[in-house]
């Protein structure tokens, strides 16, 4: 097996893992019981998607903060009342703002967050490919004069005329 | 080896400077966000979506008189400061002296919002440090706190005479915060008192 292929595959796997990673569930959620397992899964998904307003780098699911516990209880209570995911998210956004969402909605004030990275990666990729293409099509211009080249070969005795000089 | 190679002096093409311009643009953006826009603002500050909206409805017992139920009506008629505090909160102790001064010498109407606290602890705290509040709402289990978007103590809301939230301060109030941040807002809305 080609080593290069293996290496690329492992890098792709790592990146996929990073992209798919969700904040870890560090808190036991035993106090929240649902008769319908689907509803339970919905609850766990929901609290994993919402950000703790106190600790900010944790989800509501992972946070030990007392406010996060209150919010989990409130979300549980509302789910038991039969509220939908959208209703609960609307309730929280109305009180804490969009800050509570890990995924901000796409709107004028968040366009930069959503499209900024894409634009940067696109521009970087375009420049990279353009540079590669140019290197392939046009050989590096040899802009030394005949006089300079003679002097260069005097300074670098191991090099011979016609041989490409590499540094390092 | 004592011979020196003289570099042919040539002007850099404009394209070669693009990375420099990109770097400068990013650096100024970061500088702006971190030092200019961020000045005097806690990095943990979350802007409240409640500004400009009516204060949420509530029905909470009074801290000092459990038989009394306080509703949103206590906010009406006069500009008031709704101050979220708890006896377990060190920053609340820190701002307490300033709150006492505001209530006594500035005639500001302070409404206490005792949050996630034990009644006995809260009362002992007031007995020890003084009570600057006209009334105190008691919210031990954070039911009303969630409606107000409270996420820590101390937090202070400026509520106008019509019960509309006009400002939210996260973190303790000291004399400087009072003078520069809160007093101007109170004065603006006091003029509109019917």
The distance of B186 to chain A (nearest Cα, Å) reads 23
Does domain A26-100 match CATH 1.10.8.640?
A: yes
What integer pLDDT is reported at residue A163 of this predicted model? 59
What integer pLDDT is reported at residue B1 of this predicted model? 46
The distance of B46 to chain A (nearest Cα, Å) reads 7
Hey, are the CB atoms on B46 and A97 less than 8 Å from each other?
yes
Candidate ranges A7-11, A148-152, B38-42, B91-95; pick with highest mean pLDDT:
B91-95
Hey, are the CB atoms on B47 and A67 less than 8 Å from each other?
no
A56 neighbourhood in chain B, CB within 8 Å: 44
Closest to B135 (Cα-Cα) out of B174, B77, B91, B51: B77
Question: Which of A67, A94, A155 lies at the smallest CB-CB distance from B151?
Answer: A67
Greatest alpha-carbon pair distance for chain A in Å reads 88
What integer pLDDT is reported at residue A168 of this predicted model? 47
Tell me the per-residue pLDDT of B100-117, one tens digit each, with 9 for 90 and over: 999 999 889 999 999 999
A88 neighbourhood in chain B, CB within 8 Å: none
| Residue B31: band (very low, low, confident or very high) from pLDDT cuts 50, 70, 90 | confident
B152 neighbourhood in chain A, CB within 8 Å: 54, 67
User: Cβ-count burial of B72 within 10 angstroms (0-12 exposed, 13-18 middle, 19+ buried)?
Assistant: middle
The distance of A2 to chain B (nearest Cα, Å) reads 36
Hey, are the CB atoms on A97 and B146 less than 8 Å from each other?
no
* Gap between the Cα atoms of B56 and B71, Å rounded: 10
Q: Which of A50, A53, A95, A100 to mutate to test the interface with B (most CBs of B within 10 A)?
A: A95
Asked whether B156 and B173 are in contact (CB, 8 A), the reply is: yes
Hey, are the CB atoms on A97 and B142 less than 8 Å from each other?
no
Closest to B143 (Cα-Cα) out of A78, A57, A48, A50: A78
* Phi, psi angle pair for A154, to nearest 5°: -70, -40
* Gap between the Cα atoms of B157 and A116, Å rounded: 35
Spell out the domain ranges in chain A. 26-100, 105-135
Residue A22 pLDDT > 60: no
* Average pLDDT rounded to a whole number, residues B65-74: 95
Q: Decide which of A56 and B83 is more confident.
A: B83
The distance of A144 to chain B (nearest Cα, Å) reads 9
| Residue B182: band (very low, low, confident or very high) from pLDDT cuts 50, 70, 90 | very high
* Gap between the Cα atoms of B44 and B38, Å rounded: 11
How high does pLDDT run on average in chain B?
87
* Gap between the Cα atoms of B24 and B30, Å rounded: 10
Closest to B76 (Cα-Cα) out of B144, B156, B132, B135: B135
Closest to B57 (Cα-Cα) out of B122, B115, B137, B114: B137
List of residues 6+ apart from B80 with CB closer than 8 A: B108, B109, B110, B111, B134, B158, B159
**Residue of chain B nearest A143, judged by CA positions:** B8
| Residue A54: band (very low, low, confident or very high) from pLDDT cuts 50, 70, 90 | confident
Residue B92 pLDDT > 70: yes
Tell me the per-residue pLDDT of A82-134, one tens digit each, with 9 for 90 and over: 999 999 999 999 999 888 888 777 777 778 878 888 999 999 999 999 988 88
* Gap between the Cα atoms of B80 and B59, Å rounded: 18
Question: Which of B46, B142, B147 lies at the smallest CB-CB distance from A99?
Answer: B46
Helix (H, G, I), strand (E, B) or coil at A144: coil
Q: Which two tokens stand for residue B7?
A: 């570099």
| Residue A4: band (very low, low, confident or very high) from pLDDT cuts 50, 70, 90 | low
What integer pLDDT is reported at residue A61 of this predicted model? 87
* Gap between the Cα atoms of B172 and B154, Å rounded: 6
A123 neighbourhood in chain B, CB within 8 Å: none
What integer pLDDT is reported at residue A164 of this predicted model? 59
Hey, are the CB atoms on A95 and B147 less than 8 Å from each other?
yes
Residue B5 pLDDT > 60: no
User: Cβ-count burial of A119 within 10 angstroms (0-12 exposed, 13-18 middle, 19+ buried)?
Assistant: exposed
| Full-model pTM | 0.68
Q: How many residues in chain A?
A: 168
Complex-level ipTM beyond the 0.90 threshold: no
Question: Which of B5, B46, B146 lies at the smallest CB-CB distance from A71?
Answer: B146
**In chain B, what percentage of residues exceed pLDDT 90?**
72
Residue B150 pLDDT > 90: yes
What integer pLDDT is reported at residue A26 of this predicted model? 47
Q: Which of A99, A105, A126 to mutate to test the interface with B (most CBs of B within 10 A)?
A: A99
Tell me the per-residue pLDDT of A62-72, one tens digit each, with 9 for 90 and over: 888 889 999 99
What integer pLDDT is reported at residue A124 of this predicted model? 93
Domains of chain B with bracketed CATH? 53-191 (3.40.30.10)
**Residue of chain A nearest B55, judged by CA positions:** A95
The distance of B126 to chain A (nearest Cα, Å) reads 24
| Residue B129: band (very low, low, confident or very high) from pLDDT cuts 50, 70, 90 | very high
Asked whether B49 and A101 are in contact (CB, 8 A), the reply is: no
């Amino acid at each position: 097996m080609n080593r290069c292929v293996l290496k690329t595959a492992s890098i792709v796997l790592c990146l996929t893992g990073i992209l798919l990673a969700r904040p870890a569930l560090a808190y036991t959620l035993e106090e929240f019981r649902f008769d319908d397992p689907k509803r339970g899964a919905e609850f766990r998904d929901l609290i994993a998607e919402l950000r703790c307003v106190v600790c900010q780098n944790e989800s509501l699911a992972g946070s030990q903060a007392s406010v996060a516990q209150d919010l989990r209880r409130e979300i549980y209570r509302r789910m038991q009342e039969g509220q939908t995911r959208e209703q609960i998210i609307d309730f929280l956004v109305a009180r804490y703002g969009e800050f509570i969402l890990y995924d901000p909605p796409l709107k004028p004030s968040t366009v930069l967050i959503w499209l900024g990275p894409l634009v940067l990666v696109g521009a970087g990729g375009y420049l990279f490919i353009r540079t590669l293409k140019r290197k392939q099509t046009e050989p590096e211009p040899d802009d030394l004069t005949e006089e300079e080249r003679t002097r260069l070969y005097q300074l670098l005795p191991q090099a011979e005329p016609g041989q490409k000089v590499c540094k390092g | 080896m004592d011979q020196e190679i003289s570099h042919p002096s040539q002007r850099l093409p404009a394209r070669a400077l693009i990375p420099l311009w990109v770097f400068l643009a990013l650096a100024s953006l970061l500088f702006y966000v971190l030092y200019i826009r961020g000045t005097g603002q806690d990095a943990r500050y979350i802007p409240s979506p409640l500004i400009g909206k009516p204060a949420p409805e509530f029905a909470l017992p009074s801290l000092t008189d459990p038989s009394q139920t306080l509703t949103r009506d206590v906010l009406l008629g006069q500009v008031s400061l709704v101050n979220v505090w708890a006896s377990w909160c060190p920053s609340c102790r820190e701002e307490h002296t300033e709150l006492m001064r505001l209530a006594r010498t500035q005639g500001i109407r302070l409404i206490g919002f005792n949050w996630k606290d034990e009644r006995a602890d809260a009362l002992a705290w007031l007995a020890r440090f003084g009570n600057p509040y006209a009334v105190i709402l008691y919210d031990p289990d954070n039911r009303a706190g969630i409606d107000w978007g409270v996420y820590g103590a101390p937090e202070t809301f400026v509520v106008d005479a019509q019960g509309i939230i006009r400002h939210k301060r996260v973190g303790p109030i000291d004399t400087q915060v009072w003078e520069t941040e809160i007093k101007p807002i109170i004065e603006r809305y006091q003029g509109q008192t019917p």
